[in-house]
Chain A
Amino acid sequence: MGERAAEGLVTGFVMTEKLAFTLNVNGRDFPVRVEPRRTLADTIREECKLTGTHLGCEHGVCGACTIIIDGEAVRSCLMFAVQAAGKRIRTVEGLANGNELHPLQRAFIAHHGLQCGFCTPGFLMLAVNTLEQQPDIGDEELLDVLASNLCRCTGYGNIVKAVKAARDEMRAGK
């Protein structure tokens, strides 16, 4: 974990030095140097320059920043970057295989599962993680999972359609 925070107080504020560590995102190592208070979401965007992960509410409610860490979809605004050192991080940039979109990305296009696109990376990572863990997930449980994230454009209907279509396609392809 490289350098540790230095002790010391100045005018009532905690002074912290940056920590140096490595984030592994989509199979690539990114050496970073950030304060402990820097969230994983901010670090992925600003240090790794992977801006596909979006930040909406910054307190865990909207789900726009959802990414996959060690096989679990989590809110990257509710983790500090230093906590993700040594873990396998997946973001929306890692979904496509070269120019070939992930089946879920294609389904979002086919079913008009996005309008402004702000919430889309979060929905994609949440749904990909869910379909990887539970390829046979039922409609009702899928709806319960998708209730985790907010979308202000689509009214959700087309997102649900897209995820169901991807589920069926991925299952048929197995």
Chain B
Amino acid sequence: MKPAPFQYHAPRTIEEAVATLARVAPDDGRVLAGGQSLVPTMAFRLARPRHLVDINGVAALSRLVVENGKLCIGATVRHAAFERPVAKGPLGELLREVVRHIAHKPIRARGTFCGSIAHADPASEWCLVAAALGAEMVARSARGERVIPAKDFFSGIMTTALQEGELLTEVRLPLLSADTRFGFCEFNRRAGDFAIAMALVTFRLKNSAIIEPRVAISGAEATPRRIAQAETALDSHAPDAKTFAAAADAAAKAIDPLDDENTSADYRRGLVRTVVLRALERAAT
């Protein structure tokens, strides 16, 4: 189908963008970035925004830089940017590993990192990364700027802490120390399709024991999050099969899985056990 009519706004600066949003957001105005989720939704007429504020012409939103130990990802940075390491050390490698799983090449050429975060699909790889690494979301509006930590950002399926008139201008990811190990595992039925469950884990080793473990899952629950029970099962233990199995079991037990006609809650729980285990094994090798 064809999208319903809307009025088009093309601001050139962040100030102009938030001023326009302040005006049109109350009249069902939406931000258009890469458009790889919003435009299909409009084609189905599930979304019929009256205004689109196209931020692609805002040059200041395309920055991708490391500042103060954080990778700052501007609102128009495309998925494809991460196909080469964008930061030194494990973070650049982690992002490069994860991006391969996002849709397909033509989608990655247009879709944006921040757009995925703002859209907050439970199957979004970037939302998982944000939750796992403790990203900071920078929200700007005509009222000013605020920084929202990942743990307070995702509030439900496609629902976030962003308020009317707020533009997600940037997401910041902390750099990972050189000895940080990571593992990612995603399960879906077709290449490039939405994930049914995925896990991202990171940890460091000290005296052959796991320290600073992070275990995050998404796709299986309404929102991406770290699973404290699984992290406890890893902390201070040796990185061996027994420890990993215990952590995977703990994650499977801890979650409140989504349930739909294609994928039952039990199946998702089983998948979570498997993807956590595989992510841990990948991190260890």
Contact = CB atoms under 8 A, between A and B. Distances in A.
Interface in A45-72: 58-60, 63, 66, 72
B39 A78 contact: yes
B2 A37 contact: yes
Contacts of A19: 8
Contact of B105 (A7, A35, A38, A73): A73
A16 interface: yes
B109 A72 contact: yes
Given A73-B105, A148-B104, A14 B39 contact: no
Interface residues of A, number: 35
Contacts of B3: 37, 39
Nearest to B8: A36
Contacts of A58: 1-2, 43
Contact of A14 (B5, B44, B56): B5
A80 B34 CA distance: 11
A59 B110 contact: no
A91 interface: no
B85 interface: no
B36 A35 contact: no
Contacts of B10: 1, 82
A33 B73 CA distance: 35
Nearest to A6: B7
Contacts of A73: 105-106, 109
Interface in B1-16: 1-8, 10
Contacts of B54: 83
A90 interface: no
A144 interface: yes
Interface in B89-118: 100, 104-107, 109-110
Interface of A: 1, 5, 7, 13-16, 19, 35-39, 42, 58-60, 63, 66, 72-75, 77-80, 82-83, 126, 130, 144-145, 147-148
Given A59-B43, A74-B109, 10 more contacts: A1-B10, A14-B50, A36-B52, A59-B40, A78-B35, A79-B110, A80-B8, A80-B35, A82-B8, A126-B105
